[in-house]
Amino acid sequence: MTLLLRFALVAASLLAIKPAFAAGISLDLNRLESQGGNCRATLVVVNGAAATAEALKADLVIFGTDGIVARRLAVDLGPIPAGKTVVKVFDIPATGCAAIGSILLNELPLCRITGDAAISSACLETTTVTSRAGTRFFK
């Protein structure tokens, strides 16, 4: 293989690399458990990016089993270092777990990614959500 061909292959592979935040943030609603009159939620947050999420706040909307909005909640999830998985636990006050029909990730009103304002503005679009808790979690 000639030196020129090797250079062309290396250049092509570098062009194929996605931006640092292409992997994005993933949120997994991992568990819901009753705590007195509250529902305790466990959220597994993965920063699959090569950049630190310096600040990350989620605006969650809790729907009852009847589909009616029961509560709105702001949850602080950051900071999250690049490539790191963290577990965040928070209570949904005055709400029993059995009364929760679904949870909407409404928006990420605070999302600051190290060194890239464009990525920060596209945070919600690049974030994926899943649920292992038996309750629908969507955006």
Extents of the domains making up the chain: 21-138
pLDDT of residue 118: 58
CA-CA distances (angstroms) from residue 126 to 10, 22, 24, 105, 120?
Answer: 28, 7, 5, 13, 10
pLDDT of residue 116: 63
Q: Does domain 21-138 have CATH number 3.30.300?
A: no
Kindly report the average pLDDT of the chain as a whole number: 85
How do residues 29-43 score in pLDDT, each as one tens digit? 999 999 999 999 999
CA 64/CA 70 separation, integer angstroms: 6
Residue ranges of the alpha helices (H) in 2-85? 3-16
How do residues 67-119 score in pLDDT, each as one tens digit? 999 999 999 999 999 999 999 999 999 999 999 999 999 999 999 888 766 56
